[in-house]
């Protein structure tokens, strides 16, 4: 088997142990004679997978029974519509912090269903920092504040320290750093995450929301886009993406085994510090993000020369360091080092960066 390190921003690398377990159980889950893909979603065997994944995720997130955790489909892009459809009436105002193109997409989608407003934006500085979260500047009629906690494309994050307890409800996209470091998710009223970055395969979206937000939706909302539809049926209103939920559950168990979110945070801080320190001390590579807003998950860097960047990415691939090309909208390089990326991967990347710097001085 070819040995590589996969720095893809998503779908992204998964723990080898998880893949090995899924492989082993592929044709015969727990001596049932069935693959998880073949099981009725109404069977007790699948129920156990579904409920264990749900409970493990809620425990890892530190959420109690005031919250409901849903397994939905359609990715973050579907949440951009579901959030205003479920939480707002047509004339309601909500505040959006624009920290990147995903937050901007969420804001624009909300315009279809309500009256979102921009609280602050760092667009003019190509999203290289997180604007201040100043509740006093929010429209007092605003129904919630929407944040994207980690910005995959730009390599920024809103650190746990920056998220105080607000008076307004807090809604957040946590797709790319869920369970990577300790956040007090009880400060949030609704969080969502596409699994394919830090949690599992593409095809399942985790939504955790306060139960008091789950209400009958307006008549014109599609049944499948109502949180109540799914909450009332424990995410089994219709056939859920069973296999994606199963693998996500395996990842949750792997995180627990590794020592939980605290252990993930420790290793993620070590991994990102290694890489940021190397970049900061290098004369070739540069990271343009404001120090306190740097992401632990997605580390962006440039040489300042687009041709040299392309050469870097090509050479890296030849060394088995895959998917280091930055997002097409910003160029440069991006190393996504999610929970499942071992520290050896980061060290191998730094070794290559050193060699490349020496050869291209």
Sites of contact with a copy of itself (CB under 8 A): 1-4, 6, 8-14, 16, 19-20, 22-23, 26-28, 31-35, 37-41, 43, 73-78, 80-81, 85, 109, 112-113, 194, 196, 200-204, 219-225, 237-244, 247, 320, 322-323
Residue 78 marked ligand-binding: no
Are the C-beta atoms of residues 209 and 189 closer than 8 Å to each other?
Answer: yes
Q: Closer to a copy of itself by CB, 78 or 287: give it.
A: 78
Among 102, 143, 189, 309, the active-site one is: 102
| Angle at CA of residue 167, ends 162 and 172, nearest 5° | 55
Beta bridge partners of 335: 299
- Coil, strand, or helix at residue 222? coil
197 is catalytic: yes
134 is catalytic: no
Among 197, 253, 271, 325, the active-site one is: 197
Beta strands 190-194 and 145-148, pairing class: unpaired
Q: Closer to a copy of itself by CB, 41 or 311: give it.
A: 41
Task: Please report the DSSP string for 68-127 in residue order.
Answer: EEEEESSHHHHHHHHHHHHH--TT-EEEEEE-SHHHHHHHHHHTTTSEEEEEEE-GGGTT
Q: Closer to a copy of itself by CB, 80 or 278: give it.
A: 80
Cβ at position 109, least distance to a copy of itself in Å: 6
Cβ at position 339, least distance to a copy of itself in Å: 13
Residue 238 marked ligand-binding: yes
Q: Which residue has the tokens 């049944």?
A: 223
Residue 152 marked ligand-binding: yes
Per the structure block, which two tokens stand in for 141? 């009629």
Omega within 30 of 0 (cis) for the link into 79: no
Cα distances (Å, whole numbers) of residue 190 to 88, 133, 186, 227: 13, 17, 9, 11
Cβ at position 118, least distance to a copy of itself in Å: 19
Residue 44 marked ligand-binding: no
Task: Collect all residues with Cβ–Cβ distance below 8 Å to 348 and sequence separation of at least 6.
Answer: 5, 319, 320, 321
Cβ at position 309, least distance to a copy of itself in Å: 17
Residue 77 marked ligand-binding: yes
How many angstroms separate the CA atoms of 254 and 168, rounded? Answer: 35
Q: Closer to a copy of itself by CB, 152 or 287: give it.
A: 152
Residue 101 marked ligand-binding: no
Q: Closer to a copy of itself by CB, 40 or 139: give it.
A: 40
Among 54, 56, 143, 173, the active-site one is: 173
Residue 331 marked ligand-binding: no
Omega within 30 of 0 (cis) for the link into 11: yes
Cβ at position 243, least distance to a copy of itself in Å: 5
Are the C-beta atoms of residues 198 and 339 closer than 8 Å to each other?
Answer: yes
- Coil, strand, or helix at residue 210? strand
Cβ at position 201, least distance to a copy of itself in Å: 4
Q: Closer to a copy of itself by CB, 85 or 208: give it.
A: 85
254 is catalytic: no
- Binding residues for pyridoxal 5'-phosphate, as ranges, are 76-77, 102, 152, 173, 196, 238-239
- Binding residues for L-glutamate, as ranges, are 42
Q: Which residues are catalytic?
A: 102, 173, 197
């Amino acid at each position: 088997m070819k040995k590589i390190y996969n720095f893809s921003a998503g779908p992204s690398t998964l723990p080898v142990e998880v893949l090995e377990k899924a492989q082993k159980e592929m044709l015969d889950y727990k001596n049932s004679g069935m693959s998880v893909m073949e099981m009725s979603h109404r069977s007790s065997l699948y129920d156990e997978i579904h409920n264990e994944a749900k409970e493990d995720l809620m425990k890892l997130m530190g959420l109690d029974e005031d919250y409901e955790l849903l397994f939905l489909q359609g990715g973050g892009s579907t949440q951009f519509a579901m959030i205003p459809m479920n939480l707002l009436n047509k004339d309601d105002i909500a505040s959006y912090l624009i920290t990147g193109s995903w937050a901007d997409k969420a804001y624009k989608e909300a315009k279809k269903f309500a009256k979102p407003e921009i609280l602050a934006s760092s667009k003019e500085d190509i999203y290289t920092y997180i604007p201040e979260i100043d509740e006093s500047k929010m429209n007092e009629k605003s129904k919630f504040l929407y944040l994207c906690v980690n910005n995959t494309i730009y390599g920024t994050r809103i650190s746990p320290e920056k998220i105080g307890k607000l008076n307004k409800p807090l809604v957040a996209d946590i797709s790319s750093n869920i369970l990577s470091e300790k956040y007090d998710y009880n400060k949030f009223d609704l969080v969502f995450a596409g699994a394919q970055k830090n949690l599992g395969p593409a095809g399942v979206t985790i939504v955790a929301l306060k139960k008091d937000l789950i209400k009958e939706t307006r008549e014109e909302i599609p049944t499948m886009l109502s949180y109540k539809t799914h909450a009332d049926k424990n995410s089994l209103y219709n056939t859920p993406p069973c296999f994606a939920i199963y693998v996500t559950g395996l990842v949750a168990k792997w995180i627990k085994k590794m020592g939980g979110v605290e252990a993930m945070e420790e290793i993620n801080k070590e991994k990102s510090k290694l890489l940021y320190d190397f970049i900061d001390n290098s004369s070739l590579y540069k990271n343009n993000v404001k120090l306190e807003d740097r992401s632990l998950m997605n580390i962006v860097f440039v040489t300042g020369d687009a041709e040299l960047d392309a050469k870097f990415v090509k050479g890296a691939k030849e060394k088995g360091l895959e998917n280091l090309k930055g997002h097409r909208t910003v160029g440069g390089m991006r190393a996504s080092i999610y929970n499942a990326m071992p520290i050896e991967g980061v060290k191998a990347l730094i070794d290559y960066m050193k060699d490349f710097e020496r050869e291209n001085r």
